[in-house]
Amino acid sequence: MPRIDPWAPQSEASFSFLGGLSDFLAPPERGRPISHVFRGAPSVKDAVEALGVPHVEVDAILVNGASVGFEHPLRDGDQVCVYPFDVPPESGSVLHLLAPLLAAPTFVADVHLRRLARTLRLLGFDTRHGAELTDADIVGIARDEVRVVLTRDRQLLKHRALAHGYWVRSTDPETQAREVVRRFGLVEHARPFTRCCACNDLLRSVEKSAVRDRIPPRAALWIDGYWECLRCQRLYWWGTHSARLQAVVESALGSSQC
Ligand SMILES: [Zn+2]
């Protein structure tokens, strides 16, 4: 961040945050322009983040009607409109600030989002998560493996090394899954029951005869289909618990289509 001259004259700009970006503002500040007072010529990115909105949620910025990059210097009297991924500016030529993602993106979830991580794995999405991951680990993994950071920590999403991230709005795990499915358009890319919910690796079908000594006797009587995790060797089968898991999958995918 550039050094600010405390003796520089005070300037003022007006900011409007569109769509879901208003979720980052205090309720009285939503739906109307916000005045931002500053000194010097900070980048528009620094000003947006100072107002509480992480850069990874911003796809376009218009300053006085012109589309600009994050490093554009803010000037006294500027009118700034900030757009999320799903509210495109009406301006003709727009510089998109979000880097492209794979159709089926991969994720790294923070320590508090264990149930969300397990649901994304249940849907088939590669999702790293672990109680041992620090914020620095998460940033490093996101950068090195081009993963989307999922977190409820807004400060984490402001880390300059991050290109992709999403602030999970809800505290309810079921709603969180629907949020992420909607944000990243995951419905058509879901491959439920193909990934280990415990360790994130892929499952492979195995012959019943090869794992018979690991199957509870009651399951062995009436179940023929088994899948094993390639990494942790955890065994899965379609049993009495599966209806509950199917309901989790349908909740995450179904409600996202409305
Ligand atoms: Zn596993």
CA angle 126, 210, 196 (to 5 degrees): 15
User: For residue 99, is pLDDT > 70?
Assistant: yes
More confident residue, 240 or 80: 80
Q: What is the pLDDT of residues 47-58, one digit of tens each?
A: 999 999 999 999
Judge contact between 149 and 108, C-beta under 8 A: yes
Residue 102 — very low, low, confident or very high, per pLDDT cuts 50/70/90? confident
pLDDT for res 6: 67
Average pLDDT in the chain: 93
Residue 186 — very low, low, confident or very high, per pLDDT cuts 50/70/90? very high
Domains and CATH numbers, the chain: 10-83 (3.10.20.30), 107-257 (no CATH)
State the average pLDDT over residues 209-235: 90
| 230 CA distance to ligand 1 middle (Å) | 7
User: For residue 255, is pLDDT > 60?
Assistant: no
pTM attached to this predicted model: 0.91
| 157 CA distance to ligand 1 middle (Å) | 28
DSSP 8-state assignment for residue 189: G
| 132 CA distance to ligand 1 middle (Å) | 17
Task: Report the alpha-carbon distance of residue 181 to residue 250 in Å, rounded.
Answer: 12
| 200 CA distance to ligand 1 middle (Å) | 6
Lowest mean pLDDT among 3-7, 56-60, 72-76, 180-184: 3-7
| 231 CA distance to ligand 1 middle (Å) | 5
State the average pLDDT over residues 171-187: 96
Give phi and psi for 193, each to the nearest 5.
65, 35
User: For residue 184, is pLDDT > 60?
Assistant: yes
Task: Report the alpha-carbon distance of residue 256 to residue 168 in Å, rounded.
Answer: 15
| Residue from 115, 148, 127, 154 nearest 24 by CA | 154
Listed residues: CB within 5 A of ion ligand 1: 196, 198-199, 229, 231-232, 234
